[in-house]
Amino acid sequence: MHLIIIIISALWLFSEIILSILRRAKTTDSQLDRSSMKIIWAAIAISIALGVSASYQPYGRFGGESQAFRIAGIVLIILGILIRWIAILTLKRQFTVDVAITRDHRLVMEGIYHYVRHPAYAGTLLSFLGLALVFANYLSLLIVFAPVCSAFIYRIHVEEKVLSDRFGKEYADYCASTKRLVPGVY
């Protein structure tokens, strides 16, 4: 089980590093990130290090059903990665890892974006929830998920301000008809 978790996590990390290298906004695009990517990476690095450390402590363990939580965690990691990649592939060339508006930028509201405004972030957060469950420790769950979720919520606010400024009423109408991360909830 540990080897499966390590392999999936390594592939996940590798794909995110490749995206960070290959899908940065061009210097000709308007970059409006407000350090949100740095905040996300810092939250991830610190949260995972502390979450792993907490998982080895004798307190906060899930107990007898920890294996079921680990399996559920692996499923959530994979499902989250799939959702993220569907979102990225839907955006095609418009996808960048930093908040940016390209010259020919258009608002994408079809496919997975018909259901939520930020499916790539929703997928990532689902994966981090899965990772936190893999540790089978309540303290690790809180340490891993809460800061990463907070960093992504900040990023969403940055991105939504940029999209609102760029698309105005069209984006406001889209916001009125879709939720940010969870269909029908938030």
Please tell me the pTM assigned to this model: 0.91
Q: What is the CATH number of domain 35-177?
A: 1.20.120.1630
- Over residues 118-130, the pLDDT tens digits come to 999 999 999 999 9
Other residues' Cβ atoms within 10 Å of the Cβ of residue 9: 16
Mean pLDDT across 146-151: 98
Q: pLDDT at position 29, please?
A: 55
Q: Using CB atoms within 10 A of its CB, is residue 140 exposed (0-12), middle (13-18) or buried (19+)? A: buried
- Over residues 156-179, the pLDDT tens digits come to 999 999 999 999 999 999 999 999
The Cα–Cα gap between 116 and 172 comes to 14
Report whether pLDDT(26) > 70.
no
- Over residues 59-70, the pLDDT tens digits come to 998 877 788 999
Domain spans in the chain, listed from the N-terminal domain onward: 35-177
Most confident region among 4-18, 57-71, 134-148 by mean pLDDT: 134-148
Closest CA relative to residue 151, chosen from 50, 52, 66, 43: 43
